[in-house]
Chain A
Amino acid sequence: HSALTQPASVSGSPGQSITISCTGTSSDIGTYNLVSWYQQHPGKAPELMIYEVTKRPSGVSNRFSGSKSGNTASLTISGLQAEDEADYYCCSFAGSGPSYVFGTGTKVTVL
Chain B
Amino acid sequence: EVQLVQSGAEVKKPGESLKISCKGSGYSFTTYWIGWVRQMPGKGLEWMGIIYPGDSDTRYSPSFQGQVTISADKSIATAYLQWTSLKASDTALYYCARVGGGSFINWFDPWGQGTLVTVSS
A→B interface (CB under 8 Å): 3, 32, 34, 36, 38, 45-48, 51-52, 57, 89, 91, 93, 96-105
A51 surroundings in chain B (CB, below 8 A): 100-101, 106-107, 109
Q: Are B47 and A36 in contact (CB under 8 A)?
A: no
- A45-B113, A89-B45, A105-B44 known; A96-B104 Cβ under 8 A: yes
Given A45-B114, A46-B95, check contact A93 B104 (CB 8 Å).
Answer: yes
> What DSSP secondary structure best describes chain B's contact surface?
strand
**Is the CB of B70 closer than 8 A to any CB of chain A?**
no
**B70 CB, min distance to chain A CBs, angstroms:** 14
- Asked if residues B47 and A34 are in contact (CB atoms below 8 Å), the reply is no
Q: For A105, give the chain B residue with the smallest CB separation.
A: B44
Chain B residue nearest to A57 in the complex (CB): B109
Q: In the complex, are the beta carbons of A34 and B44 less than 8 A apart?
A: no
CB distance from B39 to the nearest CB of A (A): 9
